[in-house]
Amino acid sequence: MRLLSFLLALGVSFGSWAQTSQPFQPDANGDGLINNGDLLSFLTVYNTQWGPDLTVPCDYQGTPLESFFAQAVSGDVTLDSLYFAYSIYDSAEVFMPECPEPVTVFNLVERSGVIREFSQSVTADGRMMVSSGEEIDGHYVFFDLRYNPEFAVYSMEFGDAAIVAESAPFFGGLWHYANDHIGLPLPSTWTLDELGIHFPAYAGTMNEYGDFQFVPYWSAAE
């Protein structure tokens, strides 16, 4: 009789366990008490795996941009250079000394160049970065790839001091073209094709002023 009672209790508790989702619920039978019935529920799964099976290899292929980004920040590939080109334009109402009425003036900044120096690094807090920064035709330019494992987010940024030097009072004083920090999968607006990397700027920044092109060249890490 005791054996039958034990098996019945075990069956009830196991059914309760099967209906209990993670995280672990110590009150397996839902009676408001943690007692022998709950202990039997625990014993049925003792020494089994908890959570996802981390031994299963990751088979996610990713998009071309996701693969490039991950390999670049991890050092599996080396970013050798990056061609950039842009044509941005804006207008502003200004007052001339001899004219009391506002006058609309226009400004166009067109520029292209090649960034040739990149370095891969990991910061003290674990952020993985591919960074650049050099003077091109008299103005400082940079292009950075970053990954923050703490929040699993990616970011890309481009900056050219020529925009500041040639733009006042245009573009709201901006010189960055950058994306929001975001995780995988990357949005459909983030792509890599034969024309280069395509990604949006921060809302309200320079993506509203013109066109940008970023073409990376990379090689397998030695």
Q: What string of pLDDT tens digits covers the 222 residues of the chain? A: 444 343 334 444 444 444 444 456 677 777 777 777 767 776 666 667 666 666 767 677 789 999 999 999 999 999 999 999 999 888 888 888 877 888 888 888 899 999 999 999 999 989 999 999 999 999 999 999 999 998 999 999 999 998 888 876 677 767 788 888 888 888 898 999 999 999 888 766 666 678 899 999 999 877
| Pairwise CA distance, residues 104 & 88, whole Å | 17
Same domain, 207 and 107: yes
Domain presence at residue 53: no
Q: Record the tokens describing residue 176, joined without a space.
A: 């960055």
| Pairwise CA distance, residues 26 & 35, whole Å | 9
Domain presence at residue 7: yes
Structural domains of the chain, count: 2
At residue 96, φ and ψ (nearest 5 deg) are -90, 150
Same domain, 98 and 18: no
Domain presence at residue 49: no
Same domain, 169 and 97: yes
Q: What domain range is 16 assigned to?
A: 2-43
Domain presence at residue 36: yes
At position 211, the amino acid (one-letter code) is D
Among candidate residues 173, 162, 182, 165, the one with its CA nearest the CA of residue 205: 173
Domain presence at residue 125: yes
Domain presence at residue 51: no
Same domain, 75 and 165: yes
Same domain, 76 and 36: no
Same domain, 90 and 33: no
Domain presence at residue 52: no
Domain presence at residue 154: yes
